[in-house]
A and B are shown apart, each in its own frame.
Chain A
Amino acid sequence: AIRMTQSPSSLSASIGDRVTITCRASQGFNNYLAWYQQKPGEAPRLLIYGASTLQSGVPSRFSGSGSGTDFTLTISSLQSEDFATYYCQQYYNYPLSFGGGTRVEIK
């Protein structure tokens, strides 16, 4: 099974900051990686799939990159509505797996 490790587990940032979250896979694959955003009390929301393709309706300040074992989610200019927890997910093979999550908090 592929293990997904996110870092950091939490971070504090200010409005307007550039934020980068990393996801590392225990074995390499091409671009079968998705990113989700989850706010308290809500279901997750798909942000990015294929490692870098923005889901329809997601603001362009979100971007994804990477391949192999190392992937990155970047928020170019943090907005108030972006304070949430972010998860990566590999869909290269079953069993599917998520990273442990990164909580983005207000500094």
Chain B
Amino acid sequence: EVQLVESGGGLIQPGGSLRLSCAASGFTFSSFAMSWVRQASGKGLEWVSGISGSGRSTYYADSVKGRFTISRDNSKGTLYLQINSLRAEDTAVYFCVPVSGRGEYFPHWGQGTLVTVFS
């Protein structure tokens, strides 16, 4: 069974930094690309960032480019998202999602970790 456990969220002031982690199990982690998707309270889903299985290729939404860095440690089965220069609009639940082997869609979701940016 695929399990995804996100952690690292919390309360942070604007301009601050945070590192989110996602411990994945139940599948061969290194064989699958991964993404982060976020959702502000009462709002829709927003794809944030993606990374290939090897970690060599990374992708970002324009809204976070230059501030967020995605990475992975395949030896630990863990995905990361380093978030810098936090803004109020980054407040959201962040979901870690593995990409399907057939395409960049998401069959499995964790429960997410909440990031709240407050001043």
**Distance from B95 Cβ to chain A, minimum over Cβ atoms (Å):** 6
Residue from the list A43, A49, A87 in contact with B112, Cβ < 8 A? A43
**Distance from B5 Cβ to chain A, minimum over Cβ atoms (Å):** 12
**Distance from B20 Cβ to chain A, minimum over Cβ atoms (Å):** 16
Knowing A43-B110, A49-B102, A91-B103 are in contact, say whether A96-B50 is a contact too (CB < 8 A): yes
A95 engages B61 (CB within 8 Å): yes
Q: B89 on the interface (CB 8 Å rule)?
A: no
A94 engages B100 (CB within 8 Å): no
Q: Mark A16-45, 1 if CB is under 8 A from B, else 0.
A: 000000000000000010101010000111
| Residues in chain B within 8 A of chain A (CB atoms) | 35, 37, 44-47, 50, 59-62, 95, 100, 102-107, 109-112
| Residues in chain A within 8 A of chain B (CB atoms) | 1, 32, 34, 36, 38, 43-46, 49-50, 55, 87, 89, 91, 94-101
